[in-house]
Amino acid sequence: MLYQRYFEAAVSRLKDERRYRVFVHLERDVESFPLARWHRDDGSVQDVTVWCSNDYLGMGQHPEAISAMVETASRVGAGAGGTRNISGTSHAIVELERELADLHGKEAALVFTSGWISNLAAISTIADLLPNCLILSDASNHNSMIEGVKRSRAERKVFRHNDLAHLEELLIEAGDRPKLIVFESLYSMNGKIAPVKEIADLAERYGAMTYVDEVHAVGMYGPRGAGICERDGVMDRIDVIEGTLAKGFGATGGYVAGDALVIDAIRSYAGAFIFSTALPPPVAAAACASVRLLKRRSDLRAAHQRATHITKHALAAGGLPVLENGSHIVPVMVRDAELCKAASDLLLTRHHIYIQPINYPSVAKGSERLRVTPTPRHTQEHIAHLVEAMVGVWHTLGIPFVEPPSHLHVDEKSKEHCAYPEIKLAAQ
């Protein structure tokens, strides 16, 4: 092919920079989650423990979500049949949007085919509909938000990650023109939580509109699982809340929730919404079942937090460099692309543990990491196995250990990675 060398060169560049992505061929299993079957290149199959799924609560395997999906598919079919504008809106999506608006205490919600698309469509549309809008965007925002910002015709400025003083400086500089602050409530790669209340304070003081991505928080924080804004009591002070149905809710799809007028404007103007086939009704039904269930299942959220807490402490007690944060994400720092990939490979091949290496551009060069995501279905045995395996891999590859933080009170038993507080994991 005439142009082949360009594609070859592009792929080689990634390989040279040690950030060529290799997919692990997995088959998840409803019964044994977080175990999955790993299909090796040689055709053999091996059970592995998955420690990097964003199905944070295991809702993708939950019987209520599965039966809603199966029942809906057998009643109304597999697909949506077209875009909502030309083929009608399915009842399952209408119900889901009602459930999501109620979850976030907003007048309306609009469902998209993914969280990525909802950010692209909603941010660009809102900014384009506000005359002379200035977008103020957090430096660590997700790719989908950056694409939404870039796609709009509005001017944009980036504020330093979670830096309120910098944000205020930019708000003052902007004067009285329309301003849109876009940020995440929980940043997925470092697990840090945004000062949402303080951002809402600044937005009110300087007359800015607020748009928050709660993708890594919905289902998992707040009394009904609406996210960090609900947990922090500021849901009503944020204009637009964006979420995914693919992580805590275990299905797929994305959405925004807000005032009816804003949602109607996005529905009416966003090309990425108007011209794309709607979410299939069985998927909408599964997501809806999951949202409903998680509104009342605080015990699952508590079990998730407990599993996270124990995993973090056990890893840190083993001298592994866990990045401190207040969330359910457990980044273990390697700080080298090659070593990070090698650690991931060894965990998989030697210990049958799957944790995908996180390299540039998902994180800055030199801050490569293994991103561990415990679920309520990870048991003490899984955790003990993880710590033992990671300590072994760190020794084999010569990755530096750190001193366990003094507040952990590491005793001899926990040094052997076997003394974890009793946890009772909630049955689903």
CB of residue 140 to ligand PLP, shortest distance in Å: 9
Q: What is the DSSP letter of 322?
A: B
CB of residue 132 to ligand PLP, shortest distance in Å: 27
Q: How far apart are CA 116 and CA 188, in angstroms?
A: 14
Instruction: Determine contact, residues 33/58, Cβ cutoff 8 Å.
Output: yes
Taking the least distance from each CB to ligand PLP, the nearer of 186 and 393 is 186
Residue 169 CB coordination number (10 Å): 14
CB of residue 114 to ligand PLP, shortest distance in Å: 3
Bridge partners for 155 per DSSP: 134
Q: How far apart are CA 354 and CA 337, in angstroms?
A: 17
Taking the least distance from each CB to ligand PLP, the nearer of 363 and 387 is 363
Residue type, 206: Y
Residue with tokens 């009643």: 75
Nearest Cα to Cα of residue 330 among 354, 352, 343, 311: 311
Residue with tokens 């957090």: 138
Taking the least distance from each CB to ligand PLP, the nearer of 194 and 390 is 194
CB of residue 141 to ligand PLP, shortest distance in Å: 8
CB of residue 422 to ligand PLP, shortest distance in Å: 33
Taking the least distance from each CB to ligand PLP, the nearer of 142 and 231 is 142
Taking the least distance from each CB to ligand PLP, the nearer of 141 and 311 is 141
CB of residue 283 to ligand PLP, shortest distance in Å: 12
Q: How far apart are CA 73 and CA 386, in angstroms?
A: 38
Taking the least distance from each CB to ligand PLP, the nearer of 215 and 229 is 215
**Burial status of residue 373 (CB atoms within 10 A of its CB: 0-12, 13-18, 19 or more):** buried
Cα four-point dihedral sign 304, 110, 162, 210: negative
Residues interacting with ligand PLP, by CB under 6 A?
Answer: 114-116, 119, 142, 144, 184, 188, 213, 215-216, 244, 246, 254
Q: How far is CA 185 from CA 2, 107, 191, in A?
A: 47, 21, 10
Instruction: Determine contact, residues 146/106, Cβ cutoff 8 Å.
Output: no
Residue nearest to ligand PLP (CB): 115
3-state secondary structure 22-75: CCCCEEECCCCCCEEEEECCCCCEEEEEECCCCCCCCHHHCHHHHHHHHHHHHH
Residue 287 CB coordination number (10 Å): 30
Indicate which residue of 192, 247, 312, 341 is catalytic: 247
CB of residue 142 to ligand PLP, shortest distance in Å: 3
Taking the least distance from each CB to ligand PLP, the nearer of 116 and 354 is 116
- Would residue 247 show up in a list of annotated catalytic residues for this protein? yes
Active-site residues, by number, are: 247
